Amino acid sequence: MTITPDIIGYIAATLTTSSFLPQAILTIKTRDTESLSMGMYSLFTTGVFCWLVYGVYIADKALVIANIVTFILAATILSFKVYNDFLKKK
């Protein structure tokens, strides 16, 4: 089997996206976002969205798939963070 740039892209996409799963699962289960940085998650989610747009623009399936999944996870965590920091009654 020959390793092509596409295979490397799919491997990279799988590894980086799956590395984000433990944080997303923990946040969804516990709803605890106290230790998470609003700035970091805002920038990260925006960056992932930009990578998604870029992937669509250059028609790179690995970039598109990975960033759709990561964007959904990051936006979910960011939503919990916004809710907990600004909307939740203490």
Residue 77 lies in a domain: yes
Q: What is the mean pLDDT of residues 59-80?
A: 94
The reply to whether 58 falls in a domain is yes
Q: Pick 35 or 1 by higher pLDDT.
A: 35
Question: Residue 54 falls within a domain, yes or no?
Answer: yes
Within-domain flag for 80: yes
pLDDT at residue number 90: 58
Q: Give me the domain span that covers residue 84.
A: 37-90
Let me know if residue 5 belongs to a domain: no
**Assigned domain for 1 exists:** no
Render pLDDT for 12-34 as a digit per residue (tens, 0 to 9). Answer: 989 998 998 999 999 999 999 99
Domain count along the chain: 1
Sequential DSSP letters for 61-86: HHHHHHHHHHHHHHHHHHHHHHIIII
